[in-house]
Chain A
Amino acid sequence: MTLTAPRSRASDTASPRRDRRRPRARTLVTTVLVVGLIVWIIPFAWMLLGSLKTQGEILRRPPTFWPEQVTGQNYVTWFAELDFSKFFLNSVIVATVTVIGNLLFCSMVGYALAKMRFPGKRLLFGLVMLTLMVPGVVTFVPLFVQTAQLGLLDTYAALVLPFLTGPVGVFLMRQFISDIPDELLEAARIDGASELRLFTRVVLPLCGPALATLAILTFLASWNNFLWPLVVSQSADLYTLPIALSLYSTGQHSTNYGLLLAGSVLVIAPILVLFAFLQRWFIQGIATTGLK
């Protein structure tokens, strides 16, 4: 398993002869896929359209498709009354710290596992591989008990600490760093570079693609993380976006669909924008790790 920088699709270089032979079939397939895509993204479209409707219109049956009267009131409510910016900031803080922790710690231990010799190395790697298989629900209960006993419930630490590093990232970084030629590291060692210098000046700069993948996967997981933050954050000051949305959708606003749909748009939009810009890296990451 190796990672490479995103590059153009291999099919772009297919022979022109085959291209010429079957243009009609290809047009047909593409048409079917385009129609399918329109159906596929209806939930997004319906979310956006609904968020722009007035409460009266959204309750009307049968439903209108285009908003008769476009309103931004639902969004205004999120910012003005529901403290959207606080939840947004919480999400950003938690995701950023989690990403930094993962980039740092996973690459460090990945380097050690790939290129260094130390006692217990095989055991450590074995444990990492084993925990890749453990369902999240197994650690959930004791993790909660532990967090409660450490007195960390309802703190940022509880939101961040358990996710600062993980087996997936370690595995990813180890695989990538394994492909760095030993000669390169030896040469730097002969020049008198310390291990720390070697790591920061030689290994890390070569890890760009893997670090980008890891950053994206971690950010995504953190931004969308739901159950754990729901359980450990008790005061509204700590809510991340999905938690706020989830609690409003079961609380007093549970029938205010326009408001809830606007909230959904606000949660999803940043990720979709990020995805649109970085789609090659997202997709490369999934294709090479098979993980998300």
Chain B
Amino acid sequence: MFCLPFVAIFAVFMLTPIGGSFAMSFTDITSRDLQSPLAVDFVGLDQYASLLTDRRFLTSLSVTGLFVVIGIPVTIITALALAVGLNTGRGRIVTVLRVGYYAPAVTSIVAVSVAWKYILQPDGLLNAALGVFGIPGVNWLNDPVWALPSLIMLAVWRNVGTLMVIFLAGLQSIPRDLLEAATVDGAGAWRRFYSITLPMLRPTILLGAVLISVGYLQFFEEAFVMTGGGPLDRTLSVAFYTYQQFGVGQYGRASAASYILFLLVALLSLLQFRLLRTKE
């Protein structure tokens, strides 16, 4: 009885679509088949096969890969530095700093994208600031080289807060006695960080890495609101590709692409949980 409302909603809006997507990925369903969805043809693995030969899909894989490979270490290192710094502070200023650094994480991507686009314009604030130091600016969002780094910058800005809070919680669970004992034994700040803090924080860091990489693998909204996947598909992520295929009515192909993404997310999660377990 207690499960009934949940099970009903869960079955209709979660399990059915997951199954539906799986089934659709083996058919040639398009938006024109909406009237008679059961009349579509079963095409086996054709959708998957054609994806793997589609140059744009392969581009989207490499864009997503690059986003993850660059974005994750930058996010983790920034968050770790902030957490360690905040952990040494005392008093109200710490609360203010924590709230401030975390604030971007609670904001709407659409709203912040307006401000970021304005800042990243060729004659915007960032280039003006760079100009003060004599650094020539670039056309951040329309340059094939700089568009993806711009989106990574935005993603880091919005995700560091979450990781920072998780790391802070981890740091605060490290026993003070341990650090004090090391200080008494003559260990300096760096030594304490490398020999005590970092090893003890490892499970937390791995957990954070899992969370953030699952999110980054699915990156979509940043590109959707900032660049529209361009220029020259340089910010076309797998999720964005899926959305575009949906947009042109290629439902079968979109489903197949989404399942490839699902597979990648699942593999990454399993890998990282395996790592987490062996390290503990």
Which residues of A does B touch, CB under 8 Å? 9-12, 14-15, 18-19, 25-26, 29-30, 32-34, 36-37, 40-44, 46-47, 50, 61-63, 104-106, 108-109, 111-112, 116, 118, 124, 127-128, 131, 133-146, 148-149, 161-162, 164-167, 170, 195, 199, 220, 223-224, 226-227, 241-242, 245-246, 249, 257, 260-261, 263-265, 267-268, 271-272, 275-276, 279, 282-283, 286-288, 290-292
Interface residues of B in 153-171 (CB under 8 A from A): 157, 162, 165-166, 168-169
With A141-B246, A141-B251 known as contacts, the answer to whether A267 contacts B111 (CB < 8 A) is yes
- Contact check, A40 vs B99: say whether CB atoms are below 8 A apart: no
- Contact check, B108 vs A111: say whether CB atoms are below 8 A apart: no
A195 to B6: give the CA distance in the assembly, Å: 17
Q: Mark B164-199, 1 if CB is under 8 A from A, else 0.
A: 011011001100100010010000010000000000
Q: Mark B66-103, 1 if CB is under 8 A from A, else 0.
A: 00000000000000001001111110011101111111
Per a CB cutoff under 8 Å, which of B18, B21, B107 touches A131?
B18
Give the segment of B41-49, B50-58, B143-151, B216-224 that binds chain A. Answer: B216-224
Per a CB cutoff under 8 Å, which of B87, B108, B112, B114 touches A223?
B108
Any A CB within 8 A of the CB of B227: no
Q: Which of B6, B34, B93, B123 has the most CB of A within 10 A?
A: B6
A267 to B115: give the CA distance in the assembly, Å: 12
Residue on A with the closest CB to B5?
A: A105
- Contact check, A18 vs B221: say whether CB atoms are below 8 A apart: no
21 contacts between A and B (CB under 8 A): A18-B183, A46-B125, A47-B112, A61-B123, A124-B7, A127-B10, A134-B18, A137-B258, A139-B18, A195-B2, A199-B2, A224-B108, A242-B110, A257-B118, A264-B114, A265-B111, A275-B99, A279-B99, A283-B102, A286-B162, A287-B168
Per a CB cutoff under 8 Å, which of A111, A242, A283, A290 touches B111?
A242
CB distance from A55 to the nearest CB of B (A): 13
Any A CB within 8 A of the CB of B269: yes
Residue on B with the closest CB to A39?
A: B129
Per a CB cutoff under 8 Å, which of A37, A62, A133, A283 touches B269?
A133
- Contact check, B17 vs A249: say whether CB atoms are below 8 A apart: no
Given contacts A15-B180, A40-B101, A287-B165, 15 further A-B contacts (CB under 8 A): A33-B86, A41-B103, A42-B119, A47-B114, A133-B266, A134-B265, A138-B18, A140-B258, A141-B246, A142-B20, A242-B111, A263-B111, A271-B107, A275-B99, A290-B211
A292 to B211: give the CA distance in the assembly, Å: 10
Residue on A with the closest CB to B225?
A: A246
A residues within 8 A CB of B98? 279, 283
A131 to B7: give the CA distance in the assembly, Å: 13
A143 to B95: give the CA distance in the assembly, Å: 41
- Contact check, B21 vs A34: say whether CB atoms are below 8 A apart: no
With A105-B5, A146-B16 known as contacts, the answer to whether A26 contacts B112 (CB < 8 A) is no
Residue on A with the closest CB to B217?
A: A135
B residues within 8 A CB of A290? 166, 207-208, 211
Q: Which of A33, A42, A167 has the most CB of B within 10 A?
A: A33
With A40-B157, A135-B239 known as contacts, the answer to whether A29 contacts B89 (CB < 8 A) is yes
Please classify how large the interface on chain B is, using the bins under 10, 10 to 19, 20 to 34, 35 or more: 35 or more
- Contact check, B255 vs A142: say whether CB atoms are below 8 A apart: yes
CB distance from A29 to the nearest CB of B (A): 5
Any A CB within 8 A of the CB of B39: no
B residues within 8 A CB of A245? 108, 110-111, 114
- Contact check, B239 vs A291: say whether CB atoms are below 8 A apart: no
The 3 closest A-B pairs by CB, nearest first: A142-B20, A139-B17, A264-B111
- Contact check, A267 vs B180: say whether CB atoms are below 8 A apart: no
Interface residues of B in 196-245 (CB under 8 A from A): 207-208, 211, 214, 217-218, 220-221, 224-225, 239, 242-243
- Contact check, A224 vs B18: say whether CB atoms are below 8 A apart: no
A261 to B85: give the CA distance in the assembly, Å: 32
A residues within 8 A CB of B265? 133-135
B residues within 8 A CB of A199? 2
- Contact check, B211 vs A291: say whether CB atoms are below 8 A apart: yes
Per a CB cutoff under 8 Å, which of A264, A275, A286 touches B166?
A286
Any A CB within 8 A of the CB of B24: yes
A19 to B89: give the CA distance in the assembly, Å: 10
Any A CB within 8 A of the CB of B15: yes
Per a CB cutoff under 8 Å, which of A18, A149, A286 touches B180?
A18
A residues within 8 A CB of B169? 287-288
Per a CB cutoff under 8 Å, which of A37, A139, A148, A149 touches B14?
A139
- Contact check, B20 vs A146: say whether CB atoms are below 8 A apart: yes
